[in-house]
């Protein structure tokens, strides 16, 4: 039953060969990535076990390399990305051997390298910036609408739909609650990961909205109050709230401050003000957290205080373990566990434990370095360009902040590297895209099901 995953590979291969990798990206990869949980795998004896998105990107990658590789001009970020993927794969191989490490090594190729390379080469070559952003946003918007049902009923329809095909898989993901409210997770399995995806979609949506890249109304729902762009923006904002995920909320606020710089008349002044405000906010937050955790003996802690104290003690105990194997870590699942603290809610610490401090530094460099590159490009461009670079910077900052509270997994991993590659493609191509100022980019032929929500 799990071999149904290979249908995605077949569909992507047919479309990529006949209509090009960009078309396959829009028609197969993004729908599969954003609408089907990554926790389901095709169990293939003797081979790695791909997810839907990994299976779909494989033929797209091969066609991309065949048709677009000659346009590739390497950058520093390209080299760091490749080194990061190789480092993580090798570290797990060294710690656990090939039989145990093969799925992670496969993921480094088809959830890290492949999304990055495809976005890096295909989007600028076929001038798909607006088309990709529209498809990404409308798919996450559809997920957000379904999230209203999930919030009401209290269980996840995306996992319920696919579990009959994958017996025994994905059962560890359960609906969680906070403040008595259902935390919506959608196909992203965990509410914090769903929050990150909603923030990414929101930032792309705001760029599309400001650039006038949407039609005035939904084609099949013209009587719906408000504009199409306004409805999508409101729904994504509501969906982010429904995840009740504080890490992505904080990341979204910081991202909004970064994006606001791009909207300001005097961008350099706005950047300075934003930097000062964020620095003061971080300092105040650090002082506030220290006071918050200064709990007197015998005091009964709230659930929030217990969670914060757990994270503080966890970091203190595990940091020394990470330093003991600082270069290549202990392996994906073989790092020493502190009794009662098997769950690590800080990806930077977890990555250091699994694959070494250099892997963590490379990941941080990719996110923050790319954000800096995008902001520098944005400052050099006229405000009227409506360039996506500040949206990219906001996305990288939001994910950077969020990873302090959750692991980099499920769809967020390929989404991050897809966006990193997309940003590098934009920066390297000089920002030349079709549809940069038009209501719709070269619009791909829409499949029938899109008419329901468009």
Tally Cβ neighbours within 10 Å of residue 238: 16
How far apart CA 2 and CA 5 sit, in angstroms, is 6
How far apart CA 263 and CA 391 sit, in angstroms, is 11
Domain ranges (residues) in the chain: 2-452
Q: Which of 383, 333, 427, 269 lies closest to 101, judged by CA?
A: 333
Q: What is the pLDDT of residue 30?
A: 97
Contact 315, 349 (CB under 8 A): yes
Q: What is the pLDDT of residue 44?
A: 80
**DSSP-derived pairing of the beta strands 181-183 and 176-178:** antiparallel
User: What's the distance, Cα to Cα, between the start and end of the chain in Å?
Assistant: 33
Predicted structure pTM score: 0.89
Run of H or E residues at 176:
strand 176-178
What phi and psi values does residue 255 have, to the nearest 5 degrees?
Answer: -60, -40
The string of DSSP codes covering 98-153 is HHHHHHHHHHIIIIIIHHHHHHHHHHHHHT-HHHHHHHHHHHHHHHHHHHHHHHHH
Cα–Cα distances (Å) from 352 to 272, 330, 407, in that order, read 32, 9, 12
Run of H or E residues at 56:
helix 52-68
Q: What is the pLDDT of residue 294?
A: 45
How far apart CA 74 and CA 78 sit, in angstroms, is 6
Q: What is the b/e burial string over 27-40, where b = at least 16 CB atoms within 10 angstroms of the residue's CB?
A: bbbbbbbbbbbbbb
Question: 78-123, pLDDT tens digit by residue?
Answer: 999 999 999 999 999 988 888 778 888 989 999 999 999 999 999 9
How far apart CA 123 and CA 204 sit, in angstroms, is 15
Structure tokens at 409: 């997994």
Task: Dihedral sign for Cα 61, 63, 64, 69, please.
Answer: positive
Say which DSSP state 280 is in.
H
Structure tokens at 81: 């990305």
How far apart CA 96 and CA 210 sit, in angstroms, is 49
Q: What is the pLDDT of residue 452?
A: 43
How far apart CA 69 and CA 157 sit, in angstroms, is 40
Contact 421, 116 (CB under 8 A): yes
pLDDT in tens, the chain (454 residues): 678 899 999 999 999 999 999 999 999 999 999 999 998 888 887 778 899 999 999 999 999 999 988 888 889 999 999 999 999 999 999 888 887 788 889 899 999 999 999 999 999 999 999 999 999 999 999 999 999 999 988 888 998 888 888 888 888 788 888 888 899 999 998 899 999 999 999 999 999 999 999 998 888 776 678 889 999 999 999 999 999 988 899 999 999 999 988 887 777 777 888 778 777 777 766 555 454 444 445 554 555 556 666 667 777 788 888 888 889 988 888 888 888 777 787 899 899 999 999 999 999 999 999 999 999 998 888 777 788 999 999 999 999 999 988 888 889 999 999 999 999 999 988 765 444 434 444 444 444 444 444 4
């Amino acid at each position: 039953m799990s071999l149904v995953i290979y249908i995605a590979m077949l569909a992507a291969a047919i479309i990529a060969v006949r209509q090009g990798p960009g078309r396959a990206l829009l028609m197969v990869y993004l729908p599969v990535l954003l609408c089907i949980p990554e926790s389901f795998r095709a169990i293939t004896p003797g081979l790695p076990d791909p997810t839907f998105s990994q299976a779909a990107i494989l033929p797209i990658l091969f066609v991309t390399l065949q048709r677009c590789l000659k346009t590739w001009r390497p950058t520093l970020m390209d080299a760091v990305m490749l080194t990061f993927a190789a480092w993580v794969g090798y570290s797990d191989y060294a710690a656990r051997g090939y039989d145990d490490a093969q799925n992670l090594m496969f993921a480094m190729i088809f959830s890290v390298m492949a999304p990055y390379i495809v976005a890096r080469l295909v989007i600028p070559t076929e001038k798909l910036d607006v088309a990709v952003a529209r498809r990404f946003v409308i798919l996450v918007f559809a997920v957000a609408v379904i999230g209203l049902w999930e919030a009401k009923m209290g269980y996840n329809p995306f996992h319920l739909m696919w579990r009959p095909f994958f017996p025994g898989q994905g059962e560890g993901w359960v609906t969680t609650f906070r403040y008595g409210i259902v935390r919506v997770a959608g196909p992203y399995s965990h509410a914090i990961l769903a929050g990150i995806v909603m923030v990414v979609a929101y930032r792309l949506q705001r760029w599309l909205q400001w650039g006038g890249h949407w039609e005035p109304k939904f084609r099949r729902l013209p009587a719906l109050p408000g504009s199409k762009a306004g409805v999508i923006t409101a729904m994504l904002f509501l969906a982010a709230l429904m995840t009740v995920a504080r890490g992505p909320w904080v990341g979204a606020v910081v991202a909004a401050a970064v994006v606001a710089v791009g909207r300001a008349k005097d961008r350099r002044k706005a950047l300075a003000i934003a930097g000062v405000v964020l620095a003061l906010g971080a300092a105040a937050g650090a002082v506030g957290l220290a006071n918050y955790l200064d709990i007197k003996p015998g005091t009964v802690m709230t659930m929030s205080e217990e969670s914060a104290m757990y994270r503080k003690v966890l970091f203190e105990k595990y940091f020394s373990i990470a330093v003991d194997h600082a270069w290549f870590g202990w392996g994906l699942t073989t790092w020493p566990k502190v009794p009662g603290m098997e769950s690590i809610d800080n990806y930077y610490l977890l990555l250091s434990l699994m694959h070494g401090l250099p892997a963590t530094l490379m990941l941080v460099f990719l996110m923050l370095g790319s954000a800096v590159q995008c902001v520098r490009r944005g400052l050099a461009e006229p405000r009227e360009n409506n360039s996506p670079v500040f949206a990219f910077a906001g996305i990288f900052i939001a994910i950077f902040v969020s990873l302090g509270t959750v692991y980099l997994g499920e769809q967020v991993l390929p989404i991050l590297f897809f966006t990193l590659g997309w940003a590098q493609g934009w920066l390297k191509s000089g920002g030349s895209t079709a549809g940069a100022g038009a209501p719709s980019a070269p619009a791909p032929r829409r499949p029938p099901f899109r008419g329901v929500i468009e």
